[in-house]
Amino acid sequence: MSPIGVFDSGYGGLTVFRDIERRLPQYDYIYLGDNARAPYGPRDFETIYQYTLECVQHLFDMGCPLVILACNTASAKALRSIQQQDLPGMAPGLRVLGVIRPTAEVVGQYTQSREIGVLATRGTVLSESYVIEIAKSFPDIRVYQQACPMWVPLVENNEHNSPGADYFVQKYLDELLRQSPNIDTIVLGCTHYPLLINKMRKYLPDSIQVLSQGEIVAESLADYLHRHPEMETRCSKNGQVQYFTTESAADFEAKAAIFMEKPVKALHLAL
């Protein structure tokens, strides 16, 4: 078995994995959530890098030739160091990909005004990764960022559909839109935010479109595998999925079922 590894700080990456599995059901996957140490969003660079590297190493040890960092914060703060410093010595031939570049590469297809908003964790916003990556593909686009530190806890505590969530949804959207009246596209640059999309729509004009990453990342992975037959042939294809969590497997199964909209069986991974 050489499954494709999908890593996230916790449950959120399931919003991305859900679309990857739908788009590419033939492959085997291992999803690893580092629930014991989530959330990553408020943590410093070194910590996020160390945690992410450790989990990537576990996925390699479990036989994954390719690992997707489904977590925006890990993609923002750890991906480049892992790709440039660690992979060449530690695991030549193995690959790690993130979610920010694939998203940044397509935003230009959506915006007319060339002004977009990015909603993300504080860690992702401070890294400026979206600003940097979007500028590479679309130098004419202006990017406005807004950190939404209360949104991950709302989703993690299953309060995202509650009336109390409205206050924080409206608050951060107002703060973003106050930065420019010309924003016509908003990128959800955090794995958890798609679960708040119905509430967001209540406070946004219809003229503003909201982009979730799942389908974008899934399409980009399909394209990557097509362009890299040497990697594609290494990935096993039995349509099997295994879930691992660094916290309680029972808790993971209960929460993951909400994200995946189906029952999930999980195993505990000791760090």
Please report, as ranges, the residues that interact with ligand DGL according to CB under 6 A. 8-10, 12-13, 38-41, 71-73, 121, 124, 152, 190-192
Q: What DSSP string runs through 167-217?
A: HHHHHHHHHHHTT-TT--EEEE-STTGGGGHHHHHHTS-TTSEEE-SHHHH
Question: What residue ranges in 50-161 does DSSP mark as E strands?
Answer: 66-69, 95-97, 115-120, 142-147
If the CB atoms of residues 74 and 235 are measured against ligand DGL, the closer one turns out to be 74
To the query of whether residue 55 is one of the catalytic residues in this protein, the response is: no
Catalytic-role residue among 55, 64, 148, 190: 190
If the CB atoms of residues 238 and 248 are measured against ligand DGL, the closer one turns out to be 248
Chain CA centroid to CA 121, Å: 11
Min dist CB 9 to ligand DGL, Å, is 3
Min dist CB 156 to ligand DGL, Å, is 8
CA 120, CA 243: separation in Å to the nearest integer? 25
If the CB atoms of residues 138 and 151 are measured against ligand DGL, the closer one turns out to be 151
Min dist CB 70 to ligand DGL, Å, is 7
Whether omega before 39 lies within 30 degrees of 0, making that bond cis, reads yes
If the CB atoms of residues 111 and 129 are measured against ligand DGL, the closer one turns out to be 129
Q: What single-letter DSSP state applies at residue 3?
A: P
Token pair belonging to 12: 């959120």
CA distances to 31, 39, 40 from 47, rounded to whole Å, are: 21, 12, 9
Catalytic-role residue among 55, 64, 71, 148: 71
* Residues with Cβ within 8 Å of residue 195, at least 6 apart in sequence: 15, 155, 160, 259
Token pair belonging to 139: 């130098």
Closest CA to 135 of 120, 113, 121, 114: 114
Helix and strand totals (H; E) in the chain? 14, 10
Whose CB is nearest to ligand DGL? Answer: 41
Min dist CB 193 to ligand DGL, Å, is 8
Min dist CB 33 to ligand DGL, Å, is 9
To the query of whether residue 64 is one of the catalytic residues in this protein, the response is: no
If the CB atoms of residues 72 and 111 are measured against ligand DGL, the closer one turns out to be 72
Q: Which residues are known catalytic residues?
A: 71, 190
